[in-house]
Amino acid sequence: MSELKDLDMLLSVIENPTRRRILEALVREPHYPLQLSRELGMSQQAIMKHLKVLEDYSLVRCFPEESDQGGPSRKIYVPTTKFTIIVDFGPGLFDTTFVKLAMEAMQWPRITTRQDATSFELPDIGERILSIREGVAGIEAELEALQKKREKLIERKEEALEEAVKVIEGSVENYQARRIIFEFVQSPELSVQGIAEELGVRDKMVEDTIRRLKSQRERSS
């Protein structure tokens, strides 16, 4: 259940489009609030409120950095978490996959708030950048192939669960028993205790329902 609470928390934080844009900027490079204010066209006060939310939920952190102008130190923000969320939804199918991992400490380069779009020097990085881009393109192609394979597997899972729904609804009168049997089919990785916790029912009811299913199978074999 803690994983579900983490997912609910995370969705509540990133549902805000401004916070998503802030995260998008931070994964590219560390930012000062002033930079984010300019890039997103918002006041620094508004940006700081969103950064506070992201920091409270451990998605970003800040640390002081000395000003290159000799003034007081400034806060610079970096991301601290990486996660993947996948939601599968269809007839007979509702499944979420949530993986959250702490990021290893990274050595970010020192950045500048200078915004000069008309005049800049470009160091000799063309070969490295184009090589990295080609590597990313290869990774994207592999991910696309995996996604197509995943879509076919999801379709098969959906068909199996639709069949389970028809069998359960056409045979089982008790509502709680239908819930237990469907969860038993949909989440084969869950234990009896896990199913009971997921559905908020007593362990004994789950045990009795599964025991009856297995007994019926034994009698028919």
Check: CB of residue 56 under 8 Å from CB of residue 72: no
The pTM of the full predicted model, rounded to 2 decimals, is 0.76
Q: How far apart are CA 146 and CA 134, in angstroms?
A: 19
Burial of 197 (0-12, 13-18, 19+ CB in 10 A): middle
- SS3 state of residue 11: helix
Question: What Rg, from alpha-carbon coordinates, does the chain have?
Answer: 25
Domains of the chain with CATH codes: 2-107 (1.10.10.10), 146-220 (no CATH)
C-alpha to C-alpha distances, 214 to 125, 184, 210, nearest whole angstrom: 64, 12, 6
pLDDT, one tens digit per residue, over 96-108 is: 888 887 777 666 6
Check: CB of residue 51 under 8 Å from CB of residue 33: yes
pLDDT, one tens digit per residue, over 35-86 is: 999 999 999 999 999 999 999 998 999 988 877 666 778 899 999 988 899 9
